[in-house]
A and B are shown apart, each in its own frame.
Chain A
Amino acid sequence: MKCLDPAEMYSYLDEDLTDQKKADVENHLASCRKCRQSMEKKQRMLEALKNIPCYKTPKGFTNQIMSKIKPVRPSPSDWFKAGTAAVIFITAVSLLFFAFSKQGLADFAVNFFQSAINLSREALVTSIKFFKSMGVLIHISLQLIGLILKSIRSVTPVVSTEIQIFSVLFAILITLLVILSMKQKYILGDKR
Chain B
Amino acid sequence: MSEDKLLVKKTIEGDDKSFEMIVKKYENPIINYIGQTIRNYNLALEFTQEVFLKAYKALHTFNPKYTFKTWLFKIASNHIIDHWRKKKIEYISIDHPIKENENFSPPQIESNEMVAPKQLELRELGIKIEKALDLLPPRLRELFVCRHMNDLSYQEIAEIKNLPVGTVKNRVFQAKELLRTHLEEKL
Residues in chain A within 8 A of chain B (CB atoms): 6-7, 10, 16, 41-42, 44-58, 61-62, 64-66, 68-70, 72-73, 75-76
A53 close to B122 (CB less than 8 A): no
Q: Please tell me which one of the listed residues B45, B108, B173 contacts residue A7 in the complex, with CB atoms under 8 A apart.
A: B173
With contacts A41-B187, A46-B148 taken as known, whether A53 is within 8 angstroms of B107 at the C-beta atoms is yes
Determine which residue in B17, B122, B154 has the highest number of CB atoms from chain A within 10 A of its CB, and name it.
B122
Q: Please tell me which one of the listed residues A7, A42, A49, A53 contacts residue B109 in the complex, with CB atoms under 8 A apart.
A: A53
**B5 in the interface, Cβ–Cβ < 8 Å?**
no
B14 close to A76 (CB less than 8 A): yes
Say what secondary structure dominates the interface of chain B. helix
A52 close to B173 (CB less than 8 A): no
Listed A/B pairs (11) with beta-carbon separation below 8 Å: A6-B177, A45-B176, A51-B123, A54-B28, A55-B44, A62-B20, A65-B23, A66-B16, A68-B49, A69-B16, A72-B56
Nearest B residue to A38 via CB reads: B180
| Residues B115-139 near A (CB distance < 8 A) | 119, 122-123, 125-130
A-B interface, 7 closest residue pairs, ranked by CB to CB distance from nearest: A55-B35, A51-B126, A48-B125, A52-B126, A41-B187, A48-B126, A51-B123
**B95 in the interface, Cβ–Cβ < 8 Å?**
no
Q: Please tell me which one of the listed residues A10, A45, A56, A70 contacts residue B187 in the complex, with CB atoms under 8 A apart.
A: A45
